[in-house]
Structure 1
């Protein structure tokens, strides 16, 4: 991870490999851009006629957000290169714009080791802009290289980023903003690492080992193994894991500051591989990416890594319900009935609707362990992905005031989110003729994301509860601003922001 510092040098005087400066749509120059342009003895408009957009050789630079041009200075500046970074319309620029510009800067540096930038001066309150830039830069710099051969595993890496300050930058606030961003980025990148890890090298126990590492930063950790789960009656977690040789776990991490007046609980779905069980997923259904079905668990563990450093005022308890869903002679059958933790019985209509079974156990346990509010997060339904696509997660819950807190946290964190209704008119299809509930609807009324949430609500009881379905944004098929191709760490930033906002 690069180091971040603040220098009082002017843009035209700072010595670095790359000087990154903002340009708004219509080629309106942002802070530092005019000084760079003048030193080069040309104009940005003239440069656009000869220098194509980085990574898009057929496109002309206009200052559109997401675009950039990289120019050699030929000794006319102490910086070796200048990166003109598009910011979009000037009147619409926010800290979120700065986050995305930071991400574009990180990807278009052309191999520079030392970077100086004025981008955080371009929009928003100083500390918020700095935090957003550092987050965007670090998140976009992520690469998953665990399985690369040594000769291919050493990409050009930025070692140092120098922020060039604007008016009113208060040193302590800026330092806190940089530290905050680094902690959140570390947590998000941890979630990405865990989610990207192939199922052959991942298990419920390996997630437990990761939780133990996180706990070294001042958290309490407790892990229930398969024998303890059986003794306590965790029928959902055990049932899903019956077909796998890798035994399930229930992981608990606790952050408990002195004089905390509220306890929030995060519950993460940790299916380390989802074959579908006996209702086996088809080959062309994306089964090869079902190693990512523990994205909710990754988000919870990543959030706790950041929370241990950022120290919110509320207590935060995290629960990861983790199993591997595999078919064998001992696996759950369609038509089986299991008893969840807390006593409710569930008829299995489809073994590929397993995430809600492990989550239900953990939600009841979280309530029993003293949660004032429960937030669960999961790659739960394809229906949510159909509804909202790949760039936005869905939020459902009760009461409405708690849902709004999550939506507000997501907005502050820069993670697009949308509320869906908890429409009880669908609930009748989740009733079973032989048990308390079914794990899937008895008839197809659509609204699969809603019926899944209605199932979970039965285990939340009267406790305030919000369900976050990250099935869409947990994985990306391409680099998209701060999100890399494959695992994105969706939800980490929102969970952290929610905790800090209490």
Structure 2
């Protein structure tokens, strides 16, 4: 989908060429006096005075061939005070009035707005119009092909627009791979998706079972043993700063399907375990967006990818394995496999001498119970990193919530047969999982863990991947990149998202 940012007044929007037009109407607009040339404003004002446009954010009124407006279909929608959250709600609601016969071209008229609201409009229309089609017998291209966003001051909002378009591109790639059924998203398929991102700004390396065994990644190998699908360990590198600059390392859990292994999951909803590689998908999404954003920093992405299956060679409850760090692990529950593949990746991350490590994983059902589907769980050993991620999440409308990481929680992970057990029981399950991971982070390295088990996908009639936390991660990286000067961008106002 193509996006374009234009400086447009309401009168100019009325004359613009588009199949459909969404007018975002703030509460303050009720008191404006539209000019004689502003047919669009007069139409909405009359609707307000007649009581045909409700008062709450998201309420809309649709019109067909409105006098003085070139677009055939017009939707006026309330956006409250014009804040980012209200704008996103309004755009999603307005698309609901259009999606039965979706237009190919759309103009969203915002007028005077700020960076956060503009980004929310771009992300909101992309989210509302997204459809997964890859494994349908007759895949249809996305109906909406082009979106123009009209604002009062386009140059001042150019940076926010570029960030939003890049984020859409990354988030939709993450959705694509998380949504694919497990037989269409094997570890080898994830590796190919990563290799497709290689280019002038991104290097990709893929390791197979032999290389992983040579590295001593016994925890990752233990999870992969029950599957016929060979594991892959994917390394992506983005260089936006001097080579001497320490990178941020992103680690994404890539369990392409999780049966629970020998500790088999219940059959109900097991199909949703194709989403257990959403952390890996989010890392792929970030690396799809980075060459568009070109932040002035270095980023490394690590994706340990495998299936967790109950085959004849599968790891058994009670087995003890040796991780890449040298620590031995008693596997009490084979369904706590994500932390096993992540711990070896966290050890591998130390070779980059990172400025920070952020791992992303659909790790625990306990986090879903704690936070539901609104906020991702955030654990961190560094206050500055935690605050940066919290702020990035709020700014990107992709929020997280900091959870405790007290050393006392590690007591539950003690084992009589190994250095550590992989589970600590039901109480504080998401916390003990984070404490397990913390053991494999180097001393003095700022580290954060994002548990996205509740936010990575939706169930029920809206079942599908959300692409979270790609917006949070890209906002965090963009803010870090502002500490240096970005690479030249060529001054374009146009962007595109797949």
Q: 1:464 to 1:68 in 2, by over 3 A?
A: same
Deviations 1:295-318 (A, max 9, x none): 000001101111122111121011
Aligned length: 472
**1:24 and 1:64 in contact (8 A); partners too:** no
Residues 1:320 and 2:303 are matched in the alignment: yes
Alignment match, 1:265: 249
Residues 1:137 and 2:125 are matched in the alignment: yes
Alignment match, 2:77: 85
1:62 Cα deviation after fit? 2.2
Deviations 1:370-421 (A, max 9, x none): 2121100000000001100012101011111211111111112110211111
Alignment match, 1:473: 455
SS at match of 1:328: coil
**1:324-473 correspondence runs (5 A):** 324-441=307-424, 443-444=425-426, 446-462=427-443, 463-473=445-455
1:44 Cα deviation after fit? 3.0
Range that drifts further, 26-35 or 209-218: 26-35
Structure 2 unaligned segments of length 5 or more: list them: 481-498
Q: 1:242 to 1:85 in 2, by over 3 A?
A: same
Alignment match, 2:464: 486
**2:201 and 2:239 in contact (8 A); partners too:** no
SS at match of 1:459: coil
**1:22 and 1:122 in contact (8 A); partners too:** no
Rounded Cα–Cα distance in structure 1 between residues aligned with 2:280 and 2:249: 13
Alignment match, 1:13: 15
Alignment match, 1:214: 197
SS at match of 2:439: helix
Rounded Cα–Cα distance in structure 1 between residues aligned with 2:54 and 2:367: 35
Rounded Cα–Cα distance in structure 1 between residues aligned with 2:447 and 2:45: 60
**1:222-301 correspondence runs (5 A):** 222-259=205-242, 261-284=245-268, 286-301=269-284
Rounded Cα–Cα distance in structure 1 between residues aligned with 2:369 and 2:391: 23
**1:30 and 1:122 in contact (8 A); partners too:** no
Alignment match, 1:56: none
Alignment match, 1:100: 89
SS at match of 2:130: coil
**1:70 and 1:108 in contact (8 A); partners too:** yes
**1:11 and 1:32 in contact (8 A); partners too:** no
Q: 1:15 to 1:41 in 2, by over 3 A?
A: farther
Q: 1:373 to 1:5 in 2, by over 3 A?
A: closer
Q: Normalising to structure 2: TM-score of the pair?
A: 0.89
Deviations 1:44-89 (A, max 9, x none): 35363xxxxxxxxxxxx5242333232223545322222111213x
Alignment match, 2:487: none
1:100 Cα deviation after fit? 3.5
Q: 1:361 to 1:77 in 2, by over 3 A?
A: same
Alignment match, 1:158: 144
CA RMSD of aligned residues (A): 2.4
**1:189 and 1:302 in contact (8 A); partners too:** yes
Structure 1 unaligned segments of length 5 or more: list them: 49-60
**2:377 and 2:451 in contact (8 A); partners too:** yes
**1:21 and 1:32 in contact (8 A); partners too:** no
Residues 1:146 and 2:112 are matched in the alignment: no
Q: 1:46 to 1:477 in 2, by over 3 A?
A: farther
Residues 1:64 and 2:51 are matched in the alignment: no
1:162 Cα deviation after fit? 2.8
Rounded Cα–Cα distance in structure 2 between residues aligned with 1:328 and 1:226: 17
SS at match of 1:386: helix
Range that drifts further, 403-412 or 77-86: 77-86
Rounded Cα–Cα distance in structure 2 between residues aligned with 1:86 and 1:498: 30
**1:23 and 1:63 in contact (8 A); partners too:** no
Rounded Cα–Cα distance in structure 1 between residues aligned with 2:210 and 2:30: 65
SS at match of 2:332: coil
1:262 Cα deviation after fit? 3.3
Q: 1:40 to 1:102 in 2, by over 3 A?
A: closer
Deviations 1:122-174 (A, max 9, x none): 54x2x443333222222322110112232x7356x2233333332xx143x44
Instruction: Using CA pairs under 8 Å that are at least 6 residues apart, name the structure with larger relative contact order, 1 or 2.
Output: 2
Alignment match, 1:52: none
1:189 Cα deviation after fit? 0.3
Q: Normalising to structure 1: TM-score of the pair?
A: 0.88
Deviations 1:238-271 (A, max 9, x none): 1100000001111100112242633110000000
Q: 1:220 to 1:11 in 2, by over 3 A?
A: closer
